[in-house]
Structure 1
Amino acid sequence: MTIYDTIFRAFQSPMAIIAGMEEKMRFIRINDAFMKLVGYSEKELLVTSPIVLFSAWHTQIGSGHARAGSFLLQLKINRSLRIRLTWEPIVNKEESTFLLIGEDITAKTWIEMMGKSRKVLLSGLVSKDNIIERYLQNDFNSLIDDELQVEDQSFFDFLIEDDKDRLNRILEQAVLRKQADHFVVHTKKLANMTQLELHITFCPFYYADGSLKNYGFVVTDIQTVMERVDPSVSLKILMARNHMTAQQLAEATGISLQTISKLRNSKIIKPQRLTAELIASELNVSPKDIWPLHSS
């Protein structure tokens, strides 16, 4: 094996080199990560056309325009994965040759689909060992303090003790059934936040060989569980549940964006009555639901 082959096979990104076009298209080099991605051995891939694996991909690679796209990967075990493929031509070859890079985006696609069918406040990916690999707040508001480290932490570290065993059992059943599950958990007090009740949908995802890869999750509702809650926290949660940005709230109420920001950051503890009434009305609550010091 040459130094080039050794380096190519060692790359962690799934990569392959293909040659030919249409029915003559074939794999000529494959690294270990690519074999893990597609679930085929090197021997199998060398006698398998890329067209067989990736539906509709060959029509795009031959167009000469697009060099990336999302495709279904047909697996041996009667399942499919959603794969993002990127390809670059390799010059100075007697026949058309391309470097192919693959990425499993099945979980990411699921999160995007969930966001289209319902309101998603938080989302992310959790490893099979329960470590948060990716964490996304929605585009509307920052609910969790930016100083709070979320990624690379155990998901269970944020939960109260009573919920940990229950969640473990739920996840084990979801993995066995190979389907998503919805449940409610309660957090510890997070940074400058109160305790929260999270309505979460978890979905397990798998490698091509059927072994567990990670989980995707979406949080579709958030509620506070303590009687006394910082008004700024209540405001942030209500705005998120209504999918409303600070700019949108300012425009809807006629209140300055600066005032909205100060209310969200506890720089104004008790707003004027009219301000409280306008904001509460837009969020479909009573002023005292946000600022208890205001009478109804």
Structure 2
Amino acid sequence: MKRSIHPAVSCMALCVMITISSCKKGTNPGDEPQLNISYPIEVSRFDGNSAYPVVSKITYNDKNELVFFGDINGVYKEINAEGFNHILPNSVFLGMRSYLFQGGSIYDGHPTQISIDEFTKYPNGVVESRHLDDYYRAYNPDGLLASELLTGRTDSYSYDEKKNLKQILFVDNSGVGSSRLTVKSLDGNPSPYVAVKGYSNASYPHSSPMDYALAYCHNNPIQIIVEGNDPRVNTVWKVTDQHDFSYVYNENGYPTSVTIKTTYFNTSTPQVFTQTYVYKYK
């Protein structure tokens, strides 16, 4: 896949040209019409360690497709149908990771490959680049993500009868261990990004349980647990962390405030941390 620096993208840019294949419409959050539609335009995260929240802005094009997420003066994403550029500035250089989705539109397709490249621009104008990785995806008959092959790991996804994420199994391909994330319960209200087409792709890569729930659940989780095992020791699944969610909703049923209590059990005494997210909508 040929790539070149493109002057039109702010700060430093990548021109990535691919042919988008025609795919059937899926059923991830954002892929189906909703009543009383709301689109988040700002999210503030309070983690208890600072008096000031981390605030991210969210903007859309005239089709209400996500085009920007983050802080224009900090870390942010520039998004289009082919993928996104993740801008990572610091005081010495400007960094960017480019995520190219192949095999379908990021908004309403079923991309089967994600190619990741990294670019670094130094004050003297020199730009360095390197290819980081390629990930591969497969989908179930409902058009939902079923599996993802990463370097050294395979992730398998399953869903409930309402097409909410039920469980993800993360398997280390070397056989040294695996973990699984299970959504134990959900409310009956719409997730903040349920109306945002392609959010599950644009929010990639996912790391926390909340990331996965926002990407692959139509409703909001009440409890998520994460378990692990090491087949070299035994095959018993052990809970490593538990995430409990509480909500305040607006008149349309969307969360305006989410408080997450996370309990980690991998120490002699369980450790508890709390975060709160506040949403504004248009």
Name the TM-score class by shorter chain.
Answer: under 0.3
Q: State the TM-score, normalized to the length of structure 1.
A: 0.27
Q: Which has the higher contact order (CA 8 A, sep 6+)?
A: 2
